[in-house]
Structure 1
Amino acid sequence: MSAAPPPAGPPPEIRYLFIRRPVLAGVISIVITLLGGFAIRLLPLSRYPQIAPPAVQVAAAYPGATAQDVADAVAAPIEEQLSGLQGLLYYSSANASDGTMGLAISFDVTRSQDLAAVDVQNAVQVAVPQLPDAVRQNGVVILKANTDILAVVALSSSDPRYDASYLTNYLKLFVEDELKRVPGIGNALTFGGLQFSMLLQLDPARMAKLGVTVGDVATAVREQNATNPAGRIGREPAPPGTELTIPVTTLGRLQTPDQFNDIVVRAKADGSLLRVRDIGRAVLGAQSYDFAGRLNGKPTAFMLLYLRPGANAIAVRNAVQRRLDELSRGFPPGISAVIPFDTTPFVTASIKEVVFTLLEAMALVSLVVFVFLQSWRATLIPMLAVPVSVIGTFLGLLVIGFSINVLTLFALVLAIGIVVDDAIVVIENVERIMATEDVPARIAADRAIRQVAGALIAIVLSLVAVFVPVAFTGGVTGEMFKQFAITIVIAVVLSGLVALTLTPALCALLLKEAVEAHTGGFFGAFNRWFARVTGGYVGAVDRVLGRPRAWLGAVAVLVILAGVLWRRVPTAFIPSEDKGYFAMALQLPDAASLQRTQAVIERVEGFLRQEPAIRNIVALAGFDLLSRASQPNSATIFVNVRPWEERGPGQSIDAITGRINGRLFGMRDAMGFAFNLPEIPGLGATSGVEAQLQNRGGLPVQDFAREVQAFVQAANQLPAVLGVNANFRANVPQLYVDVDRAAAKARGVKLGDVFGTLQALMSTLYVNDFNLYGRTYRVQIEAQAPYRQTPEDLGQLYVRGSNDAMMPISALTRTQFKSGPTVLTRFNGFTSALITGVPRPGHSSGEMMNQLDGLIRSRFAAEGLGISYSGQSYQERASSGAAGLVFALGLVIVFLVLAAQYESWSLPFAVLFGVPFGVLGAFLGIWLRGQPSDIYFQVGLITVVGLAAKNAILIVEFATELRSQGVPIRQAAVQAARQRLRPILMTSFAFILGVSPLVVAGGAGAASRHSIGTTVFSGMLIATTVGIFFIPLFFTLIRRLAERGRAETPSAVEGRP
């Protein structure tokens, strides 16, 4: 009986698991890819992750009060309770002459917004007893601020019957709640104060003639417009036999103007009645008329939509549009709803551009690999391995709760050049062994993976060591670093896993058994050129090793140059992008009316329409975006432009705003400027420098206003400043009413009646509420319009004195015109002026802030002025030292990992000494291009550190192995340089070409791609073309010192090979 044939399988000398079991290696990679692809569908999509600091808003109203009154009586008591809140960064309040107070409180990004809101709520409750009664009656509102604006919904009408008040209330009643229920919407807020209100418009002259006061009317309204429960007939306990229980009802809250007109103000014994209609009229109007919205010149109601954290911006916006289309079918004829202002096109376009760059990077990397490997089989291996790492990274992002955003996608673009390195290292070593040892692909793959496994693990660990510390930095910068760093770490770890499993299995299966050298054609020419390059490189390395002191001096010069550039390159927080929209702020002369403001808006809209790139113009009259306060002489305009691909030369946001600012500068009856909005929602109002000039010395308001103007004039002369503006105005005409308190008391007039009458008839008096359409609205008292137009109208306001005699307020008061602010801002408890500015081209925001600080110290500190920063500028200043700390920590971690890997305290220095070349290249690149050191540069610099260390590891690892085999130190260094040059150049140029699309990017998000692309491109170019000549020198010197320190025999230290 013949023996059974031996089982088929790999030859017995194959010891590596995944070469013996290639199906297992394939299954692991397929599972990773499938799960990653599934994760892509579940991950939220947004421009940036949720990185804006959590904020809480406090709103209160003191009707009739001046800005100074609101600041002193409302803002100050509340602000006094805020200091010491956990995670508090700063707080600022805007106190307006319409009696409103808005207080914004910003917390550290690590602080829970829910817990922060609870802390603020508790602090406000402590301050409430100190607030005026009118403020407590109106209520103090505390809201968790949502800064991630998704879109603006506009409701307009072609039918003149539907005015702005009708549209606002229709939007609030029938659209707002519906859109709030769309999954992913965090909040929907109807803009402006045109909500319904029952206005009791009184005739002061008629009231004086009939002896009626404002207090009489308010008392009558409170009594007769109230809910009056009346019980039930037949309720238990009831007599036996009771068969029915019937509720008893009566007229409660009134609903119609006629019912309010019938309110009895006074009844006499003879049966005569005095009703509201006898001294005025009740009308269904608006709570406030200090705001007007326009869309492309037509009266419009607006609603802001905010995105819920973690939601997919694109999907939510599309869902809103679908729901809006459904609701539009039920609108009255002539009313239509549109989305004129939308932030998602920039999100879509910028992410699409990064994805396109991702594909370009893969194509360029494939080209480099093919040129070096000269085999489609060998090229196919990394092209199969790279997608596994890239797609699998999305699974990691889903597990840790990240989103698909520009930061994670940037990380993946860089990761392509990084992860392909691991596969190339394996492939190149397999082909080298096949060519030099003449063994089949399977055996070569088995030997190769066991040779380079240590280097692969060292590369992965060193890259992880570089990026992991970045994830633990704090603040907004730390959150941005974390998104990038963790994505890179996931991709690198998966790349190492694939390089140790799938890549050797594919090498064993796909590589040819014999490798034929190309001698003709393009590849032949390339090989001959590369042989000359290799010979020249080895000769240069040998010459460097022959004169170590001279070349160490050259290294010292390069390090000094890197240090000089580090100090000279200006700093910034984040580059300003063309987002497809911008804003404008208009300021009319002091005391200008809302009607004048609307007239100016019409003129501005006229020259905006002359810009062919502009698509929609959203104008908000009566609202100041910079102070976030209501002012009748202010306006804010949001402008939406056409998509990037539809715009030609000279139609970028910077170009458009430059032309518009030129037109605005020529306006005589208004000041205005157009500006880019901040890159990260919630970080201030503008993308430039945002400072708070504080009155720390307690100067009178008029003196502080003069100092503010002096500061602005001086700041505009600074070298780094293109333009600076201040929003503080203290010369607004105000009518001061001086009440003769002694005379009032002598005539039996209560001071409260005097002030209450002034408030009610010159402003509005909130009495109580009424119900309409299932909602609750305010009942307010005010004087009819003709009685509140001139200072002389105060003479027609009467109060009741002793013996029920009516006397004019003018008999108890003196009036005079004074000047004061319409909006009084406070920052961290001090009266302040918001300073906004733009750095001059060629200068950065960091330079501008340093010069502003110097200006304060040299000229204004003695006057009691100080400066603080808010918004984006605060984060830039807070993160100014983070990059150096992260950089140093990363180097320390890399050193420790390599020390553990090589079991040596000295050898890691040979790797780390290669890092300064990459740093020099990174700084040189952005300096030559005129770019600042911003967050994207810092992220790119960390990447360059890791990759420069990787190049050094490839040489040092191989040289160490040769030295352990007894090869002399210098000869080991030269041999390692010769043998590792090809994989170093292959991996480095694959990375450099892979990121080159970032350097020349255009369209949405181009500025951030330029920043990170220039950094890594130039950094790796210098690290590769210059640094690799010095790595063998560092290895030789450090190895000699280490062996000399261990007192080894003289034969261990060799001279020339």
Structure 2
Amino acid sequence: MISAIISWSMRNRFIVIIATIGLTIFGWFSMQDTPIDAIPDLSENQVIVYTEWMGRSPQIMEDQVTFPLVTNLQGMPKVKDVRAASMFGMSFIYVIFEDNVDIYWARTRVMERLNSAQRSLPEGVTPTLGPDGTGVGHIFWYTLDAPGYDLGELRALQDWYVKFALQNVPGVSEVASYGGFQKQYQVTIDPNKINYYKLTLMDVLNTIKNNNNDVGGRVFEMNGTGYIVRGLGYVKNISDIENMTIATRNTIPVRVKDIGTVQMGGDARLGIIEENGNGEVVGGIVVMRYGENADAVINRVKEKMKEVEKGLPKGVKFKVAYDRSDLIEAAINSLKNTMIEEIILVCIVIIIFLFHFSSSLVVMINIPISILLSFIAIKYFGITSNIMSLSGIAIAIGVIVDDGIVMVENAYRHLTEEGGDDHA
């Protein structure tokens, strides 16, 4: 079989050369299109369903949220397993699909089931899908370096400006904020006063909720001009809440400040984020979308950060906490250096032992062609260029070199014995 292939190749040299050039060019473009990452993604092909119902115990979350959702999500096509975890005020469900299932097809199937499962959940509880990323999708971490600013201001800046800007970068699935305080208006009720006025907590809650709202009206025409009538009622400061009227007792309005106090505070936190022992920081985690090129996404995020930084308050700037592109570039440079070193070593070995440049050229050409052809398979098998795959290529280069040296030396020896040294 091998002899027949060699004989056919010798008789059709032009076809072999054209096919080799074509496959090499195809391999070059495949290498350019192959996603680059530092580490292989070995995570499950999963869709995460997250449900929040604050203040409820894990047992209530399990009985009223997790169990109804799990029973509805079971039985979907191409699902391997459904796992769940319930904790205080939160429920997580992991729907594991088969490896060959498209992630967006899987998310669509899960969303269809959630629409029907909504009827079995408590009122006001809405499950949501997690980001379309994987366990290794955290490709970039940053913090806001801002001396003199408090953590509440920085968290508001991160949540309402930086986060939305970076989420528009192509390939970014989510920008998760961390650290600082999430600002909120906190109303502390005096139980003695609320009993004195014969009110309930729901009266206070509904009053604040109904008064924090804009309402629209109809168009009022006067002198040929139409005026849009609307009511502006969004809360802008603490005094707006304090002066809200809950009820009327003996023609005297009972306001929120009459039964308690209002202050600006931070939401409850389960932990803090500290950087190098220098105190708390505020920042974000950039999560890459499934199947994207990590190196290209990181570069686009960095370009976007330069634009966003121009709009930050004076003294605030970005500080990189983790950048996977450094590891990605190190892995790529390692492969390049290995290939160059082996080509040089092959040239030296063959030239020393054979003193024949054309024989060295045959082996040298095999190395880049074999690498480029391997990228065709890497691309169409859905494998990223990472440390593991590039290391495999680097190891395989040694096999290619060994085979090439043996074959060239053997061919050269036979030609020399037959007196064909001039034609070698």
Q: TM class by shorter-chain length?
A: 0.7 to 0.9
Q: Which residue of 1 aligns with 2:38?
A: 47
Alignment CA distance shift 1:301-1:104 (3 Å): farther
Alignment CA distance shift 1:138-1:276 (3 Å): farther
Alignment CA distance shift 1:224-1:385 (3 Å): closer
Q: Please state how far the C-alpha of 1:176 moved relative to its aligned partner.
A: 0.9
1:87 aligns with 2:78: yes
Correspondent of 2:144 among 142, 150, 155? 155
Contact map agreement 2:51 2:90 (CA 8 A) in 1: yes
Compare relative contact order (CA 8 Å, sep 6+) and give the higher one, 1 or 2: 2
Structure 1 unaligned residues grouped into runs of 5+: 1-14, 235-240, 441-510, 515-1057
1:214 aligns with 2:207: no
Correspondent of 1:261 among 242, 251, 259? 242
The 2-side partners of 1:512 and 1:204 are apart by: 107
Contact map agreement 2:371 2:393 (CA 8 A) in 1: yes
Q: Which residue of 1 aligns with 2:121?
A: 131
Secondary structure, aligned partner of 2:290 = coil
1:512 aligns with 2:407: no
The 2-side partners of 1:23 and 1:130 are apart by: 70
The 2-side partners of 1:34 and 1:110 are apart by: 29
The 2-side partners of 1:65 and 1:432 are apart by: 82
Correspondent of 2:160 among 169, 173, 183? 173
Correspondent of 2:259 among 279, 283, 286? 279
Residues 259-309 of structure 1 deviation map (CA, whole Å, 9 limit, x = unaligned): 2222110113x4210011111233444443444322223221121101233
Secondary structure, aligned partner of 1:81 = helix
Correspondent of 1:292 among 264, 269, 272? 272
Structure 2 unaligned residues grouped into runs of 5+: 1-5
Q: Which residue of 1 aligns with 2:302?
A: 321
Contact map agreement 1:114 1:144 (CA 8 A) in 2: no
Q: How does 1:425-444 map to 2 (within 5 A)?
A: 427-428=408-409, 430-438=411-419, 440=420
Q: Please state how far the C-alpha of 1:24 moved relative to its aligned partner.
A: 7.0
Question: For residue 272 of structure 2, what is the amino acid of its counterpart?
Answer: A
1:332 aligns with 2:321: no
Residues 972-1031 of structure 1 deviation map (CA, whole Å, 9 limit, x = unaligned): xxxxxxxxxxxxxxxxxxxxxxxxxxxxxxxxxxxxxxxxxxxxxxxxxxxxxxxxxxxx
The 2-side partners of 1:109 and 1:379 are apart by: 44
Secondary structure, aligned partner of 2:370 = helix
Q: Which residue of 2 aligns with 1:96?
A: 87
Q: How does 1:409-558 map to 2 (within 5 A)?
A: 409-420=390-401, 423=404, 427-428=408-409, 430-438=411-419, 440=420, 512-513=422-423
The 2-side partners of 1:129 and 1:19 are apart by: 72
The 2-side partners of 1:106 and 1:206 are apart by: 53
Q: Please state how far the C-alpha of 1:425 moved relative to its aligned partner.
A: 6.5
Q: Which residue of 1 aligns with 2:66?
A: 75
1:381 aligns with 2:362: yes
The 2-side partners of 1:320 and 1:80 are apart by: 40
Residues 503-559 of structure 1 deviation map (CA, whole Å, 9 limit, x = unaligned): xxxxxxxx6348xxxxxxxxxxxxxxxxxxxxxxxxxxxxxxxxxxxxxxxxxxxxx
The 2-side partners of 1:163 and 1:102 are apart by: 33
Q: Which residue of 2 aligns with 1:357?
A: 338
Q: Which residue of 1 aligns with 2:323?
A: 342
Contact map agreement 1:163 1:299 (CA 8 A) in 2: no
The 2-side partners of 1:138 and 1:195 are apart by: 22
Secondary structure, aligned partner of 2:215 = coil
Q: Please state how far the C-alpha of 1:65 moved relative to its aligned partner.
A: 2.0
How does the TM-score come out when normalised to structure 1? 0.36
Contact map agreement 1:55 1:145 (CA 8 A) in 2: no
Alignment CA distance shift 1:68-1:309 (3 Å): closer
Question: For residue 142 of structure 2, what is the amino acid of its counterpart?
Answer: V
Q: How does 1:979-998 map to 2 (within 5 A)?
A: none
Q: Which residue of 2 aligns with 1:390?
A: 371
1:109 aligns with 2:19: no
Question: For residue 77 of structure 2, what is the amino acid of its counterpart?
Answer: Q
Question: For residue 50 of structure 2, what is the amino acid of its counterpart?
Answer: A
The 1-side partners of 2:129 and 2:403 are apart by: 54
Contact map agreement 2:37 2:385 (CA 8 A) in 1: yes
Residues 615-670 of structure 1 deviation map (CA, whole Å, 9 limit, x = unaligned): xxxxxxxxxxxxxxxxxxxxxxxxxxxxxxxxxxxxxxxxxxxxxxxxxxxxxxxx
Correspondent of 2:110 among 120, 123, 129? 120
Contact map agreement 1:47 1:351 (CA 8 A) in 2: no
The 2-side partners of 1:164 and 1:100 are apart by: 25
Secondary structure, aligned partner of 1:299 = coil
Question: For residue 175 of structure 1, what is the amino acid of its counterpart?
Answer: V
1:302 aligns with 2:289: no
The 1-side partners of 2:291 and 2:347 are apart by: 35
Contact map agreement 2:180 2:280 (CA 8 A) in 1: no
Question: For residue 182 of structure 2, what is the amino acid of its counterpart?
Answer: Q
1:224 aligns with 2:211: yes
Q: Please state how far the C-alpha of 1:421 moved relative to its aligned partner.
A: 6.3
The 1-side partners of 2:232 and 2:206 are apart by: 18
Q: Please state how far the C-alpha of 1:25 moved relative to its aligned partner.
A: 5.9
Contact map agreement 1:354 1:406 (CA 8 A) in 2: no
Question: For residue 252 of structure 2, what is the amino acid of its counterpart?
Answer: S
Question: For residue 200 of structure 2, what is the amino acid of its counterpart?
Answer: T
Question: For residue 171 of structure 2, what is the amino acid of its counterpart?
Answer: G
Alignment CA distance shift 1:38-1:115 (3 Å): closer
Alignment CA distance shift 1:345-1:205 (3 Å): farther
Q: Which residue of 2 aligns with 1:677?
A: none
The 2-side partners of 1:130 and 1:34 are apart by: 57
Contact map agreement 1:155 1:336 (CA 8 A) in 2: yes
Secondary structure, aligned partner of 1:306 = strand
Contact map agreement 1:156 1:298 (CA 8 A) in 2: no
Residues 670-714 of structure 1 deviation map (CA, whole Å, 9 limit, x = unaligned): xxxxxxxxxxxxxxxxxxxxxxxxxxxxxxxxxxxxxxxxxxxxx
Alignment CA distance shift 1:302-1:87 (3 Å): farther
Question: For residue 203 of structure 1, what is the amino acid of its counterpart?
Answer: D
Q: Please state how far the C-alpha of 1:185 moved relative to its aligned partner.
A: 2.1
Question: For residue 368 of structure 2, what is the amino acid of its counterpart?
Answer: P
1:58 aligns with 2:49: yes
The 1-side partners of 2:25 and 2:117 are apart by: 57
The 2-side partners of 1:383 and 1:60 are apart by: 58
The answer to which structure has the higher helix fraction is 1
Q: Please state how far the C-alpha of 1:171 moved relative to its aligned partner.
A: 0.6
Secondary structure, aligned partner of 2:173 = strand
Q: How does 1:688-699 map to 2 (within 5 A)?
A: none
Alignment CA distance shift 1:271-1:113 (3 Å): same
Q: Please state how far the C-alpha of 1:429 moved relative to its aligned partner.
A: 5.3
Alignment CA distance shift 1:353-1:387 (3 Å): closer
Contact map agreement 1:94 1:103 (CA 8 A) in 2: yes
Contact map agreement 1:189 1:304 (CA 8 A) in 2: yes
Alignment CA distance shift 1:127-1:33 (3 Å): closer
The 1-side partners of 2:145 and 2:414 are apart by: 75
Alignment CA distance shift 1:23-1:92 (3 Å): closer
Secondary structure, aligned partner of 1:293 = coil
Equivalenced residue count is: 416
Q: Which residue of 1 aligns with 2:3?
A: none
| Percent identity between the two aligned chains | 23
Q: Please state how far the C-alpha of 1:249 moved relative to its aligned partner.
A: 1.3
